[in-house]
């Protein structure tokens, strides 16, 4: 018998043991369950009988119809349920029926009267005593039945345990005996295999292991004997081959020594040639480095010269744009002032609507002027709480004209408003520059897509972009289907003066200006592109977290709060603007002294300084500038309140004018209502520095 069959016998014996135990346990559980059900049923009967006895006592103390009904319901439950479920002796059945008769007899007894009260009472007591005795006799029988059932359960459990123990002992003995015989057989065979392996390992190749039987160990012994014979044959063949190899190695050694001598001679010759070549290479490398350094210096010189020319050209254009914008601001202030006056005075109708259109046109001209000032670096940002969806929608028609009819413009907006603190003209310039670049990248037409969404970049993304701020952002993606840009160009795309356009067709400042505008808005911009796959610029601008009230939110009904009776010294070199502002002040109750240059303003203040409550000075005037006039006026009366007006905001904040930062200022062009509001704030005691947004 092989080992597999022996182990099968052992496993079969253990499975037989488990099946026997399972059968014994199943039979025992079945018998125990029957007795347990009987015990539970008898216990329920005992409980019902005790409840019936309690009802007996309750009826004796307080006889009522309710108690009689409860007693009868409980008795029917006992008679109909429990008697049918149990093998009840005849005398107990008679006792149960007798209990009903006794209770009905008790119910039939009349209530205690006056004459026969003692006899009736004795009779009721006898009936109740009999009823309780009969009930107790039934309870005693049920208790005895319950006790017998519990004893039967205990006997079954003890018998089942003894049977299981006997079966387990028999099966354990049989299994142990089989395993001992098998293990002894295995150990004997293993010892023989061990002895054979040790002999072979000691060098006795061809040693044969003895074995008996035809099991797996016998097969292993046969394989080891075969292996021992094969090893002996292989060793003999290997020994013969080793002798042949030793002879061949001796011959090759002689040949190798001859070759080494020839090689040594060749190596010496090669080393001499290498030394000569190395000297030549060093001289060549020195010459190449010198040439490369001269070329680099020349290229850097040419690059700096080109940057200087570009910066000089941009500075000249900036000066021209700044001068034009400054003069144009004065004209715009007059147009906007009289336009606002017309809107207030005209009743609703066609003329009132025409006046509104005049004011809107002047506002668009104001944005154009501010763009020129920003181009010449003479204008600070004018931040407003703006819905970026609405701003993009307002510029759709203009962008269509920029890109041309052969390019399709697709816009996708966020479903909800996305409010940002931004400078409208600067963001419009960003959109216009990106649209222009997209147009140049699609000479044969294509599609330009502008999408706006609300997103919240993770902290790692915001930290990577140092100009960015964490939190929710409005994301503007401007994508085209143009020629695309390679990776090296994308890495340098925001560098100043870097351009891929032909010479004379680009300054290289467009995208660097965009990058600067977005950075000043606490945002950041990315570029992603591949050659032939178009380009996408992604702009992140932080959303507003606090409420923001714009200057235009005040209703016309609040204009009355801007009136006053104070005296104002107004210094302005533009006569049209002077007349418009004077009319606005006088219409709201103020008294105005007019001065057309700084020197005249100082002279008027010398004469009427005690009457003047506020001095409004244009920053740039003939003869004497606003700064010089203010220095003289403040020396005459240090407590006088003042305000500067200029279209050169940066020059007021810092630079050649360098006025006191505590003096408020107003940027041109300015609406009369906004100027009146600023004047009212200053006169009412607000001496804080203005923000330039009026």
- Model confidence at 154, pLDDT cuts 50, 70, 90, reads confident
User: For residue 480, is it left (φ>0), alpha (ψ between -120 and 50) or beta?
Assistant: beta
CA distances from 287 to 227, 273, 281, 284, 293 (A): 74, 22, 10, 5, 10
pLDDT value for 475: 93
- Are the beta carbons of 193 and 215 closer than 8 angstroms? no
Q: Give tens-digit pLDDT for 140-153.
A: 777 777 777 777 77
pLDDT value for 479: 92
Q: Give tens-digit pLDDT for 19-78.
A: 777 777 777 677 667 667 767 777 777 777 777 778 777 777 777 778 777 777 877 777
Q: Give tens-digit pLDDT for 66-103.
A: 877 777 787 777 776 655 555 566 666 667 777 777 77
Q: Give tens-digit pLDDT for 307-334.
A: 566 556 556 655 665 666 666 777 777 7
Say how many Å lie between the first and final Cα of the chain, rounded.
110
pLDDT at residue 580 greater than cutoff 80: yes
Mean pLDDT, to the nearest integer, of 426-448? 87
Nearest to 474, CA basis, from 434, 436, 523, 431: 523
Q: Give tens-digit pLDDT for 209-268.
A: 666 666 666 777 777 777 878 777 887 888 888 888 888 888 888 888 888 888 888 898
Q: Which residues of 507-533 are buried (b: 16+ CB within 10 A; e: fewer)?
A: bbbbbbbbbebbbebebbbebebeeee
Please tell me the distance from the alpha carbon of residue 220 to that of residue 226, in angstroms, as a whole number: 10
A 10 A CB-CB count for 328 gives: 19
Please tell me the distance from the alpha carbon of residue 268 to that of residue 256, in angstroms, as a whole number: 19
pLDDT at residue 640 greater than cutoff 80: yes
pLDDT value for 132: 76
pLDDT value for 467: 52
Higher pLDDT, 659 or 104: 104
Where do the DSSP E strands lie in 356-468?
A: 384-387, 407-412, 419-422, 446-455
pLDDT at residue 111 greater than cutoff 90: no
* Residues paired with residue 675 on neighbouring β-strands, in sequence order: none
CA distances from 335 to 329, 353, 356, 360, 670 (A): 10, 16, 12, 11, 10
Query: Rounded to 5 degrees, what angle do the CA atoms 271, 276, 278 make?
Result: 90
Residue with tokens 């413009």, as numbered in its chain: 409
Which strands form 614-618's sheet, in the order they lie side by side? 591-595, 567-571, 614-618, 641-646, 665-667
Burial grade of 167 (CB within 10 A; 0-12, 13-18, 19 or more): middle
CA distances from 238 to 207, 241, 409, 445, 495 (A): 19, 5, 86, 83, 77
Q: Following DSSP, what letter does each residue of 534-597 receive, concatenated?
A: -EEEEEEEEPP-S----GGGS-GGGGGGG----EEEEE-S-HHHHHHHHHHHHHTT-EEEEESS
pLDDT value for 653: 47
Domain boundaries, the chain: 3-168, 382-542, 559-683
The encoded tokens of residue 602 equal 């100082």
pLDDT value for 607: 92
pLDDT value for 546: 46
Mean pLDDT, to the nearest integer, of 488-505? 72
- Model confidence at 423, pLDDT cuts 50, 70, 90, reads confident
Q: Give tens-digit pLDDT for 173-191.
A: 877 777 777 777 777 777 7
pLDDT at residue 137 greater than cutoff 50: yes
Query: If one looks up domain 559-683 in CATH, what number appears?
Result: 3.40.50.2300
- Model confidence at 452, pLDDT cuts 50, 70, 90, reads very high
Higher pLDDT, 398 or 448: 448
pLDDT value for 381: 61
pLDDT at residue 554 greater than cutoff 50: no
- Are the beta carbons of 676 and 562 closer than 8 angstroms? yes
Given CATH 3.30.565.10, say whether it is the number of domain 382-542.
Answer: yes
- Are the beta carbons of 371 and 513 closer than 8 angstroms? no
pLDDT value for 568: 94
Residue with tokens 């972009």, as numbered in its chain: 465
pLDDT at residue 613 greater than cutoff 60: yes
User: For residue 617, is it left (φ>0), alpha (ψ between -120 and 50) or beta?
Assistant: beta
pLDDT value for 51: 78
- Are the beta carbons of 668 and 647 closer than 8 angstroms? yes
Q: Give tens-digit pLDDT for 240-254.
A: 888 888 888 888 888
- Are the beta carbons of 451 and 477 closer than 8 angstroms? yes
Which of 116-130, 135-149, 421-435, 660-674 has the largest mean confidence?
A: 421-435
Which of 145-159, 578-592, 675-689 has the largest mean confidence?
A: 578-592
pLDDT value for 368: 63
- Which residues neighbour 538 within 8 Å (Cβ) at sequence distance 6 or greater? 475, 476, 477, 525, 526, 527, 528
pLDDT value for 553: 40
Q: Is pTM, for the whole model, over 0.85?
A: no
The encoded tokens of residue 397 equal 């028609």
pLDDT at residue 591 greater than cutoff 90: yes
- Are the beta carbons of 633 and 602 closer than 8 angstroms? yes
Please tell me the distance from the alpha carbon of residue 352 to that of residue 363, in angstroms, as a whole number: 17
- Are the beta carbons of 604 and 593 closer than 8 angstroms? yes
pLDDT value for 612: 93
- Are the beta carbons of 614 and 641 closer than 8 angstroms? yes
pLDDT value for 90: 66
pLDDT value for 606: 93
pLDDT value for 635: 92
Min mean pLDDT across 6-10, 49-53, 440-444 is at 6-10
Residue with tokens 């292989």, as numbered in its chain: 234
pLDDT at residue 693 greater than cutoff 60: no
- Model confidence at 657, pLDDT cuts 50, 70, 90, reads low
Which of 46-60, 98-112, 511-525, 678-692 has the largest mean confidence?
A: 511-525
% of the chain at pLDDT higher than 90? 9
382-542 and 559-683 have identical folds: no
% of the chain at pLDDT higher than 70? 77
Q: What is the mean pLDDT of the chain?
A: 76
The encoded tokens of residue 610 equal 């005690």
Min mean pLDDT across 117-121, 321-325, 340-344, 567-571 is at 321-325
Residue with tokens 């796959």, as numbered in its chain: 533
- Are the beta carbons of 207 and 200 closer than 8 angstroms? yes
pLDDT at residue 269 greater than cutoff 90: no
pLDDT value for 548: 32
Higher pLDDT, 200 or 592: 592
- Model confidence at 371, pLDDT cuts 50, 70, 90, reads low
- Which residues neighbour 52 within 8 Å (Cβ) at sequence distance 6 or greater? 71, 74, 75, 78, 99, 135
């Amino acid at each position: 018998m092989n080992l597999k069959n022996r182990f099968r016998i052992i496993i079969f014996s253990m499975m037989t043991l488990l099946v026997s135990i399972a059968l014994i346990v199943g039979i025992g559980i079945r018998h125990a369950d029957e007795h347990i059900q009987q015990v539970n049923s008898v216990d329920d009967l005992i409980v019902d009988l005790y409840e019936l006895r309690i009802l007996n006592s309750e009826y004796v103390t307080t006889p009522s119809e309710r108690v009689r009904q409860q007693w009868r319901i409980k008795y029917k439950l006992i008679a109909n349920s429990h008697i049918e479920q149990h093998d009840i002796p005849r005398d107990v059945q008679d006792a149960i029926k007798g209990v009903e008769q006794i209770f009905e007899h008790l119910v039939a007894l009349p209530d205690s009267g006056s004459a026969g009260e003692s006899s009736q009472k004795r009779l009721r007591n006898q009936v109740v005593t009999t009823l309780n005795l009969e009930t107790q006799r039934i309870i005693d029988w049920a208790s005895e039945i319950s006790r017998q059932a519990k004893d039967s359960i205990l006997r079954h459990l003890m018998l089942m345990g003894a049977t299981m123990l006997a079966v387990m002992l028999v099966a354990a003995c049989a299994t142990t005996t089989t395993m001992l015989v098998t293990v002894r057989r295995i150990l004997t065979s293993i010892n023989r295999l061990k002895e054979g392996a040790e002999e072979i390992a000691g060098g006795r190749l061809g040693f044969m292991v003895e074995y008996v039987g035809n099991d797996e160990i016998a097969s292993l012994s046969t394989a080891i004997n075969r292996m021992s014979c094969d090893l002996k044959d292989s060793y003999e063949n290997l020994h013969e081959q080793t002798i042949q190899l030793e002879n061949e190695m001796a011959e090759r050694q002689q040949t190798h020594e001859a070759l080494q001598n020839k090689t040594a001679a060749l190596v010496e010759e090669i080393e001499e040639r290498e030394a000569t070549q190395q000297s030549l290479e060093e001289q060549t490398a020195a010459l190449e480095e010198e040439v490369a350094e001269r070329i680099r210096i020349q290229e850097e010189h040419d690059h700096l010269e080109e940057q200087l020319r570009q910066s000089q050209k941009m500075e000249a254009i900036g000066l021209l744009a700044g001068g034009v914008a400054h003069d144009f601001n004065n004209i715009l202030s007059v147009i906007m002032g009289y336009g606002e006056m017309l809107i207030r005075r005209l009743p609703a109708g066609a003329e009132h609507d025409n006046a509104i259109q005049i004011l809107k046109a002047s506002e668009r001209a104001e944005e154009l002027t501010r763009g020129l000032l920003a181009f010449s670096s003479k204008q600070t940002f004018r931040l407003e709480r703006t819905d970026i969806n609405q701003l993009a929608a307002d510029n759709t028609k203009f962008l269509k004209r920029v890109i041309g009819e052969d390019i399709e413009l697709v816009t996708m907006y966020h479903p909800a408003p996305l409010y940002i603190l931004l400078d409208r003209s600067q963001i419009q310039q960003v959109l216009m520059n990106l649209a222009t670049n997209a147009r140049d990248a699609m000479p044969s037409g294509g599609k330009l897509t502008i999408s706006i969404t609300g997103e919240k970049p993770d902290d790692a993304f915001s930290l990577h972009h140092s100009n960015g701020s964490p939190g929710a952002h409005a994301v503007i993606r401007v994508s085209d289907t143009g020629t695309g840009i390679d990776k090296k160009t994308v890495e340098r795309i925001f560098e100043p003066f870097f351009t891929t356009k032909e010479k004379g067709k680009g300054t290289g400042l467009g995208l660097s200006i965009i990058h600067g505008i977005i950075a000043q808005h606490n945002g950041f911009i990315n570029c992603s592109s591949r050659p032939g796959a178009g380009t996408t610029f992604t702009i992140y601008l932080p959303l507003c977290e606090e409420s923001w009230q714009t200057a235009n939110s005040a209703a016309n009904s609040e204009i009355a709060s801007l009136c006053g009776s104070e005296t104002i010294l107004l210094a302005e070199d533009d006569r049209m603007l002077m007349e418009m502002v004077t009319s606005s002040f006088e219409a709201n109750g103020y008294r105005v002294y007019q001065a057309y240059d700084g020197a005249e303003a100082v002279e008027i203040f010398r004469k009427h300084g005690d009457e003047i409550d506020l001095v409004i000075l244009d920053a740039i005037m003939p003869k004497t500038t606003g700064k010089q006039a203010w220095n003289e006026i403040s020396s005459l009366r240090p407590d006088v309140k003042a305000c500067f007006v200029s279209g050169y905001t940066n020059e007021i904040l810092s630079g050649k004018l360098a006025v006191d930062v505590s003096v408020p200022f107003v940027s041109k062009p300015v609406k009369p209502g906004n100027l009146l509001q600023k004047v009212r704030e200053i006169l009412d005691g607000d001496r804080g520095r203005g923000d330039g947004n009026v």
